[in-house]
Amino acid sequence: MRLNRAWIESRIPHHGRMCLLDEVIAWSAERVSCRSGTHREADNPLRAYGRLGIACGIEYAAQAMAVHGALIAGGDLADQGAPMIGSPAAGPPGAGPPAAGSPAAGFLASVRGVRFHSLRLDDVQGDLICDAVRMAGDANTALYEFELRSDATQLLCGRATVVFDAGLKAGASAREFR
């Protein structure tokens, strides 16, 4: 069973029309693949002047990264039958269920090496597939590579850095964060 929009909305900070992803189609501890058809909707909240520019694809990727954070944080996935990359039922060899807990709040700190292979998303006829792969990270940051495609056509790709719980801790001085 794939994880649907209701599951996604209950675990990322984007709700209603601003939740751009329709479902998680596969995932592992290192990666996630999500599907969306929201780029074709006339009331997509990222549209400007009746168009959805390709740079908006970065927000689709950021939401996929947030979903990945929720997936690897764990919780109730065993009951959901979440598909894992490798084997639809069992996941890759040696991959157990996600660790229990809730994901830390993440903030998109930077995007690098972004390549646009199209001008717009709203004129893409097929569904969007967003793949995000966690390349490195620790308790404070994560580095992802991402790709947005439709069918076999790559629309954009790049890297993103996510910083978790970036706010100043109570009692900490600004000097500790330099």
Region 70-82: what's the mean pLDDT?
62
Q: Is the pLDDT of residue 74 over 80?
A: no
pLDDT at residue 116, rounded to an integer:
98
- Please count the CA atoms within 13 angstroms of the CA of 98 that sit on its side-chain side: 27
pTM comes to: 0.80
Region 106-111: what's the mean pLDDT?
92
pLDDT at residue 165, rounded to an integer:
77
DSSP at 169: P
What confidence category does residue 175 fall into, taking pLDDT thresholds of 50, 70 and 90?
very low
Backbone angles phi, psi at 75, to 5 degrees: 115, -120
Region 60-67: what's the mean pLDDT?
97
Residue 66: closest CA among 6, 117, 132, 2? 132
pLDDT at residue 73, rounded to an integer:
86
Cα distance between residue 172 and residue 152, in whole Å: 48
